[in-house]
Amino acid sequence: MKYSGFSKRHNILRRQILKGFMALPAAIFLSTSCFAATPPTSEVNTTGLAITDDTVTVGILHSLTGTMAISETGAQEAEKLAIKQINDMGGILGRKIEVIQEDGASDWPTFAEKSRKLLVQDKVAAVFGAWTSASRKAVLPVFEKENGLLYYPTFYEGLEQSKNVIYTGQEATQQILDGLNWVAKEKKAKTFYLIGSDYIWPRTSMKIARKHIEKVLGGKVVGEEYKPLGDTQFGSVINKIRLKKPDVIYAAVVGGSNVAWFKQLKAAGITSKKQTLLTISVTEDEVLGIGGENLEGFYSIMKYFQSQDNENNKKFVAAFKEMWGDDSVIGDVTQAAYLGPWLWKVAVERAGSFDVDKVVAESEKGDIELTTAPEGYVKLHKNHHLWSKARVGQWKKDGQAEVVYTSELIEPDPFPAGYQ
């Protein structure tokens, strides 16, 4: 027994020595080949972010519970997919991305509190999150005070530009103007009926739409209507629309109301056979709730549709379904959320640092582009928004859209002159 014990220890010792020898050339090899990809932590992180020699921590902040969970689920799934893919490629600056996820719970003060926790306590290098304008407005002062970096995925009303936010969705003019031009040209539309839910995004969007219709297109707005959020009764509004006989119904109804609105339109006999309808608030996600049969033939204007036929998108859709199940659908915001981590990766690598100031400076050069974006191609403008194309999709019964129009690349203009 004693002998064998000695032998064992001896063996271990010998093995360690051998391992040491074997590791020697490997160590030399590693240090020469990987040095460029893995710069020391002190170099890439001068502001005390949560970065080690082989990891970097980021935050994801979306609503997993509450009303907005419906919409935000897709966004956080896409962000996790992008992060997984980046990690599979070796991470950023030789560091794997680790995620701390927080739940905004559809409650705007909670968003602010959680973002403070992510920035102050967890020291995350970037946050991917927020969805509604209200939640963005709630976290904005926190990001500005703590000098954090937020990638915000939703199409929104514009009129904002912060040093600490990169907006990966389209601002209002990128979504609205081309859609109106298209419908005026293709459908010879002259009269418009505007209807939306009663909060900042639809109201700002309709303001821009009205200006464009009246001043540029020479058309007429025959009605403008806002319904309280969550309202499910559209009978009277539908009759009003009947009375006004508009060429186009232009809709920005959101949430549960959206489903009621389209179901009741169909029930009232207003279908695409008799009426052109263009909406800025329906993506594949919403169609799940509304039902393709209620939308058939109506148009949405977005920058991305799941059915888009290009190689990037096919790969993206396949990867998304592999990770989150075959039933998943991908809407406009989900795709925009997917761009966030990739844009961050390019900016960090070009800056050679995770420091927020350096990453922002690199992003503000206005030449970061993603040729692998599912929507085709995007470029980051120095005003923190993306150049993107507007697309009109016509809904089919199966809940997918057929892209019937694609614009040129549109320059983001969050503060459009003459539209405010």
Residues that bind other proteins (CB under 8 A): 64-67, 69-70, 73, 198, 224-228, 230-233, 235-240, 242-243, 256, 258-260, 263-264, 266-270, 285-286, 288-291, 293
Rounded to the nearest whole angstrom, what is the least distance from the CB of residue 402 to other proteins in the complex? 21
Instruction: Give SS3 for 48.
Output: coil
Rounded to the nearest whole angstrom, what is the least distance from the CB of residue 279 to other proteins in the complex? 16
Report which secondary-structure segment, H or E, holds 228. Answer: none
Calculate ∠ Cα 115-119-124, nearest 5°.
115
For residue 84, give every residue at least 6 positions away whose Cβ sits within 8 Å of its Cβ, in sequence order, or none. 323
Rounded to the nearest whole angstrom, what is the least distance from the CB of residue 372 to other proteins in the complex? 27
The smaller minimum CB distance to other proteins, of residues 282 and 378, is found at 282
The smaller minimum CB distance to other proteins, of residues 87 and 264, is found at 264
d(CA 276, CA 272): 6
Q: Cβ(303)–Cβ(170) under 8 Å?
A: yes
Instruction: Give SS3 for 356.
Output: helix
Q: Which residues pair with 95 in a beta bridge?
A: 92
The smaller minimum CB distance to other proteins, of residues 89 and 243, is found at 243
Q: Cβ(163)–Cβ(360) under 8 Å?
A: yes
Rounded to the nearest whole angstrom, what is the least distance from the CB of residue 81 to other proteins in the complex? 17
Rounded to the nearest whole angstrom, what is the least distance from the CB of residue 370 to other proteins in the complex? 27
The bridge status of strand 378-380 relative to strand 369-370 is: antiparallel
d(CA 10, CA 7): 5
The smaller minimum CB distance to other proteins, of residues 64 and 409, is found at 64
d(CA 39, CA 58): 19
**How many other CB atoms sit within 10 Å of the CB of residue 407?**
18
The smaller minimum CB distance to other proteins, of residues 90 and 230, is found at 230
The smaller minimum CB distance to other proteins, of residues 252 and 378, is found at 252
Please provide the distance, in angstroms rounded to a whole number, between the alpha carbons at the two ends of the chain. Answer: 89
Q: Is 124 exposed, middle or buried (0-12, 13-18, 19+ CB in 10 A)?
A: buried
Rounded to the nearest whole angstrom, what is the least distance from the CB of residue 121 to other proteins in the complex? 26
Rounded to the nearest whole angstrom, what is the least distance from the CB of residue 212 to other proteins in the complex? 21
Rounded to the nearest whole angstrom, what is the least distance from the CB of residue 21 to other proteins in the complex? 55
Rounded to the nearest whole angstrom, what is the least distance from the CB of residue 280 to other proteins in the complex? 18
Rounded to the nearest whole angstrom, what is the least distance from the CB of residue 135 to other proteins in the complex? 16
Tokens linked to 312: 């990037």
Instruction: Give SS3 for 407.
Output: strand
Q: Cβ(378)–Cβ(369) under 8 Å?
A: yes
For residue 91, give every residue at least 6 positions away whose Cβ sits within 8 Å of its Cβ, in sequence order, or none. 56, 97
Identity of the residue numbered 343: L
The smaller minimum CB distance to other proteins, of residues 118 and 238, is found at 238
The smaller minimum CB distance to other proteins, of residues 32 and 236, is found at 236
Torsional class of 159: left (φ above 0), alpha (ψ -120 to 50), beta (otherwise): left
The smaller minimum CB distance to other proteins, of residues 57 and 106, is found at 106
The smaller minimum CB distance to other proteins, of residues 106 and 276, is found at 106
